[in-house]
Amino acid sequence: MLNGLKTRAASGTAVLLGALAGLAAPAPADAAVPATIPLTITNSSGRGDPLFLYDLGTSLTTGQQGWADEGGAFHAWPAGQNPPTPAPDASIPGPAAGQSKTIHIPRFSGRIYFSYGQKLVFRLTTGGLVQPAVQNPSDPNRDILFNWSEYTLDDSGLWLNSTQVDMFSAPYAVGVRRADGTTVTTGHLKAGGYHAVFDSLRAQDGGWGGLVQTRSDGTVLRALSPGHGLETGALPAGVMDDYVDRVWQKYAGTTLTVTPFADRPDTRYFGRVSGDVMNFTDGSGAVVTSFHKPDADSVFGCHKLLDAPNDAVRGPISRTLCAGFNRSTLLVNPNQPDGSAAEFYQDAVTNHYARLIHGQMADGKAYAFAFDDVGDQESLVHDGAPQQAYLTLDPLS
């Protein structure tokens, strides 16, 4: 995907936005995107502890990895080592509770981190930046309350998201002001939604409560994504097996039709199961790609047996399958993607993490798994000629 945003980051986590960026049309010449745009961070968290900001990513001008200061100037990371060495302090002092601060963000494919009370720990290896991976109990950031947004700013404009692909934690919303003066936002939770997600995960049978991480003083820090829950042992490896088995049984005798491009309804692929494999054919009957029966890790991560390369056939089909498995719509609708959100997450075997997060979002939109953008369910703002970006840190309530 464009600019590397749909890649595997150093922490082994899925980073979003590239798919949409890759489909965007170039901005018109009279709406050229400047080298930097202002980002206003508003601290509505109600917290009294210090706030620290970071703008980290890959420069789309030079291709180097690095960080930006609050004026938008790019700084390349120095060479790392093995074992990893401390990265330079890239933190930007954030606004106090009830205050706002405007920084400038450059043409990046990257992340905007924010942390409460403590600075984050970043290290450098020979392969680049090591980002926080709090599914690892020895990660130095494990007991810090933090979160991040992802963005791409390039010739085609700004893509800025509110992501829960890796974890659900300190809440925030994103926004962009367009050239016509209108502003669009997404990412706000319903009143009481923050604690409702944690409480509902703990009440959900099957190990889902084990996704919730707390500090030794009892402070709730985050809920890990189910893929990380498999990694830590919170969720059993076979948590999705029953649903996958039923899908395989159904499509051994029924055709699954995938129409991966909303603007190309005549481009369709047809899936049928034979043994352990689902084969997809095109309109001529030729097999174009095949998928082995996926496990839970492949489903939750939209990778491994559901790998989605940046191509014109397998990737788009895989994205659609991934969304159907996570939303448990493959049994109720043989025509995918399913555009009816009312049908999502209705099976007893589903991605309950995604279900609960979407259920607590004010607009229903979230990035709760890597391809939650299938069917426009993602929490993302975009504009081809952005005038101003916004990041609002919401209360933990």
Rounded CA-CA distance 257/255 in Å is 6
Using an 8 Å Cβ cutoff, are 21 and 369 in contact?
Answer: no
Active-site position among 150, 297, 373, 383:
150
Using an 8 Å Cβ cutoff, are 16 and 135 in contact?
Answer: no
Q: How many CB atoms lie within 10 A of CB 351?
A: 28
Helix-helix angle 352-360:193-203, to 10 degrees: 150
Q: How many CB atoms lie within 10 A of CB 340?
A: 11
Spatial CA neighbour of 317 closest among 339, 291, 340: 291
Helix (H) or strand (E) holding 200: helix 193-203
Beta strand extents in 117-182 (DSSP E only) = 123-125, 128-130, 145-154, 157-162, 167-168, 172-177
Active site residue 166: yes
- What are the distances in angstroms from CA 35 to CA 72, 108, 200? 9, 10, 43
Active-site position among 55, 154, 166, 338:
166
Whose tokens are 């397998």? That residue is 314
Which amino acid, residue 227? G
Using an 8 Å Cβ cutoff, are 302 and 14 in contact?
Answer: yes
Whose tokens are 């200061």? That residue is 69
Using an 8 Å Cβ cutoff, are 254 and 276 in contact?
Answer: no
| Beta-strand relationship, 287-292 and 277-281 | antiparallel
Which amino acid, residue 81? Q
Rounded CA-CA distance 16/370 in Å is 7
Active-site residue list: 150, 166
